[in-house]
Structure 1
């Protein structure tokens, strides 16, 4: 019923299907790769190269096809005559080929389980019939039968088609037919196909809905379809979120240091208010972004942290030990370095600024380095980043509030208790939690605790449940699909309406409630909220600014990110390995580990967020510039070390 696939994964968890199951460009993805775009760079180019090779390999003298052989719109189906799913998809493709009337070439290739004797006989029968110019006739009756194919069954079908039986028998056993099957399997292997049906349109794997209109859009590629595909490619690109953050930061610096500086400041400080009767609640644009919209970002971070602690990489202490120790070292060393330069000074309370790691930039840069970074190192950094997020959340909650107002705090605790009770009662609907989350945000904001903590608490209280088994839902979907085939047209329409609802409910059950919320909000966070945060928080006036790289807070932040992060991460992990508390993957050498530690010094989003909570005025602008300088330097040093270490490893191999 479902076309199998493997995935690329965005930094906040959305799955995007790109190639068939078994694709050599991607192996089985562990839980923490929800935060890594795994198929990118070299791996994605490999898939594209194989797709183009598949188009060039079309041979009109060998392949069985419908349409004009020189048509550029090629549709290739790898199928199995014993598969009902292949039969359904083949019916759709035949109708499309007929409707396109020469505008598309439809190619059918054999691919089946080598141990399936019935499928082997059927495939040989189709190819043997093709040697008498009757492939499509035999193709039609084979799919029409839809049952087992014994030797007598095959001959009966051959007679029905009108083949020369003596020649047909010889061809069934011939080496030529065997070579044709082997060649089809080679093509399938080159495209990394392991299951059928597998559909390729113009060399690209198709994973849309199996309905005629959807496939027609993929074949005809109207403007809207091309825009949608281009946006999916951009959103699926490893560095897309980081690129937007860079562009937003550059735009803010340009605007703030040009004739638009006054406009920028007025917009940033413009107050928007909500009024109801005599009540009024107003915040500046910057505050709405930092305190309100960033709560959504922390909500998604909280969902990911909970998932990994409950059922992901951080749920297993043995595998989580090394990244947790690395995260603790990577938070402690920068804080100590900062404190050493600012002890007793005016900026002493900013020790939390260099502790943070920006996940989007760090993992995006590692993904862009492609095969030069071992997969196990990506897993380690992803786990470390999640533990680092958790540490940053605790630090913000405990040390960067604005005093504590008891009455609103009691209201916040009441909201938390109510959400906890709903979780105990197994209320899985998201709406009640979101409504209470908004109320919790208002109480938290009034209490003096940083308002974004409401997002983290809400995420932790959204109940998790074990997802349904995919094979059970697939079996249900197959039953539903079989039911939507009565001859009575009115009855079919009624069943179809029920089928859509049943499938939606079944597929919705495959994921926990938090995943669905994350799926709905992640692109808004990555491509709107975080760029807005960067734009309205990095518009620093450079000309005539009071920034001094030798000021204690600036030195503390720069050295904390550039030296403290790698020193703390690598030092703590080295000690843990030496003491036998954890093990280092055989794929990773210490040079690569140091490079990853330097990349973790890219603080950016979280560091600027903590800086905004810790400082204000000229001191805040100075610390933000220090964050930018330290992050950029860390990115350059870390990427250079990883690239050099990866190249050296490749040469030795």
Structure 2
């Protein structure tokens, strides 16, 4: 496998830095922290969150802003979570798209069957633990927290990959298995966000804007130039489009698609997903954020690498704006999220992975043991980024259980999932994982 690009290391450090600052700030001056998070940038009727909900989240002092008769507020939180995070999800979608569509894609054919089945277990296991334990706690508790069932189903692809390399060594086949599992998990997470966590009242007709944008930009700036260049090895039209128009048609289409998602009631952070498959791409990929991809000349890889530093900054602010939870918020949702990740993930990945490898006869990568599935499951229990994101959309900030804000308590569970890194190292030692460096 080619050396992982520095994006993962930078992304991890900046994201953690943002989260740590948020935790300290929120516990020393909660009032100032939340006013920073919800600070209004623009009162309008086009882009932003619902005004009433914003006023509730901002709390005391919102009336000092002279807003007039408006329905939406573009706050700092909305800017990062709903607009800028779209670029992060676009990068994740790019990796998923290449893994599925390319001839040698990592999620094509029999080689991906066992990781995909293990991924299914790694999502069903946490959901079953979370929902099952919530049901045992009574109807009042279940009704308050059941909407967060998807929070522990997530796997943080970058952190899991980094910890996997520490536990197994860079050359171990289990690292590749883990990467496939995390990519598939991300794909499933995007689908869950789109279907089960709409950001408002659904208006599906607006999705025609996103669909039209995707089809239009593909036909006019990808398919048509290639058709006009057929039989001409110099490819004059494609070269002209690439030289003079570059990524701009896709950015404009992305803006239209994003707006369509917002108006349709789906989470707008997913608004760039329909555009990603329309961008010209190479016929091969070197793996997630591989350094070797810098030398590919296709527009999709170039856009991804152009977004490297901006997305690192976005993820810092994502951590800063979403991880600010008071330690007094630890409660039932915290332990349910943590149980789903720390218990459900390893169980689900191990059981479903073993069924796929043995009874179904799909096998494991050469050099990987069945016991390694347990360790992979432990590593995959690091939820963090996507778990935090789902927690922020699953619960309204005003939902309270036993005097504790459910959203904050669930976020604390996502933060505590970092413990899975230490657990993975210990389990790896106990199960005698032999590191393979390469």
TM-score by length of 2: 0.78
Question: Any unmatched runs of 5+ in structure 2?
Answer: 47-68, 136-141, 227-237, 286-292, 398-404
On the 8 A contact 1:412/1:443 being kept in 2, the answer is yes
Indicate the residue corresponding to 2:419 in structure 1.
633
- SS of equivalent residue, structure 1 residue 8: coil
Count of matched residue positions in the alignment of Structure 1 and Structure 2: 373
Q: Separation in 2 of the partners of 1:379 and 1:576? A: 17
Indicate whether 1:532 and 2:317 are aligned.
Answer: yes
Aligned-partner Cα distance in 2 for 1:509–1:244: 26
CA-to-aligned-CA distance 1:437-461 (integer Å, 9 cap, x gap): 0111112112211102212222122
Distance 1:546 1:532 in 2: 21
- Aligned equivalents of 1:368, 1:516: Cα separation in 2: 29
Are 2:98 and 1:307 aligned? yes
- Shift, 1:262, TM fit: 2.5
Judged with a 3 Å threshold, the aligned counterparts in structure 2 of structure 1 residues 421 and 534 are, in CA distance, closer, same or farther, namely same
> How has the CA–CA distance of structure 1 residues 242 and 510 changed in structure 2, closer, same or farther, with 3 Å as cutoff?
closer
Aligned equivalent of 2:330, options 532, 540, 547: 547
* Residues in 2 aligned to 1:7 and 1:274: alpha-carbon distance in whole angstroms: 47
| Aligned partners of 1:596 and 1:642 also within 8 Å | no
Q: 1:409, 1:583 → 2: CA distance?
A: 41
Q: Structure 1's 649 and 405: CA in aligned 2 closer, same or farther, altered over 3 A? A: closer
C-alpha contact (below 8 Å) 2:153/2:341 kept by paired residues: yes
| Alignment partner of 1:331 is 2:131 | no
Which residue of the partner structure matches residue 458 of structure 1? Answer: 275
Instruction: State the match for 1:383 in structure 2.
Output: 180
Native 8 Å contact 2:194 2:270 kept in 1? yes
Which 10-residue stretch deviates more, 431-440 or 631-640?
Answer: 631-640
CA distance in structure 1 between the partners assigned to 2:374 and 2:107 by the alignment? 26
User: Which of 295, 298, 305 is the matching residue for 1:512?
Assistant: 298
State yes or no: 1:288 paired with 2:79: yes
How much has 1:374 moved relative to structure 2? 4.7
CA distance in 2, matches of 1:595, 1:509: 34
RMSD of aligned Cα (Å) = 2.9
The TM-score with structure 1 as length reference comes to: 0.53
Superposed displacement of residue 300, structure 1? 0.6
Q: Deviations over 1:263-295 (max 9, x none)?
A: 221111101128799999641111111101110
Q: Distance in 2 between matches of 1:360 and 1:453?
A: 19
Q: Structure 1 residues 431, 643: CA separation in 2 closer, same or farther (over 3 Å shift)?
A: farther
Give 1:317's match in structure 2, choosing from 101, 105, 109: 109
Alpha-carbon spacing, 1:263–1:459, altered in 2? closer, same or farther (3 Å): same
Is the 1:358–1:604 Cα contact (8 Å) retained in structure 2?
yes
Q: Deviations over 1:275-334 (max 9, x none)?
A: 799999641111111101110001111111111112244353111111111111111111
- Please point out which of 437, 441, 448 is paired with 2:265: 448
Match of 1:8 in 2: 3
Tell whether the 8 Å contact from 2:342 to 2:420 is kept in structure 1 after alignment.
Answer: yes
Distance in 2 (alpha carbons) for counterparts of 1:509 and 1:634: 35
1:283 is paired with a residue whose SS is strand
Q: For 2:307, what is the secondary structure of its paired residue?
A: helix
Q: Which residue of 1 aligns with 2:232?
A: none
Q: Deviations over 1:398-429 (max 9, x none)?
A: 00002212453332332233234334324764
Q: Please tell me whether the aligned partners of residues 244 and 531 of structure 1 are also in contact (alpha carbons under 8 angstroms).
A: yes
Q: 2:209 maps to which residue?
A: 411
Contact 1:381 1:596 in 2 (8 A): yes
Offset of residue 596 of structure 1:
1.6
Q: Secondary structure at the match of 1:464?
A: coil
Q: Which residue of 1 aligns with 2:30?
A: 261
SS at 2:297 equivalent = coil
Q: Report the CA distance between 1:434 and its aligned residue.
A: 1.2
Report deviation, 1:241: 2.7
Aligned equivalents of 1:621 and 1:464: distance in 2?
Answer: 40
State the SS of the aligned residue for 1:266. helix
Q: Distance in 1 between matches of 2:32 and 2:271?
A: 32
Contact 2:281–2:301 (Cα < 8 Å) also in 1: no
Residue 370 of structure 1, CA deviation: 6.3
After TM superposition, the structure 1 = structure 2 runs for residues 233-632 of structure 1, keeping only pairs within 5 Å, are 235=6, 239-258=9-28, 260-273=29-42, 282-311=73-102, 312-343=104-135, 345-369=143-167, 371=169, 374-401=171-198, 402-422=200-220, 423-425=222-224, 426=226, 429-466=246-283, 510-525=296-311, 527-542=312-327, 545-548=328-331, 551=332, 553-617=333-397, 618-629=405-416, 631-632=417-418
Contact 1:300/1:522 (8 A) holds in 2: no
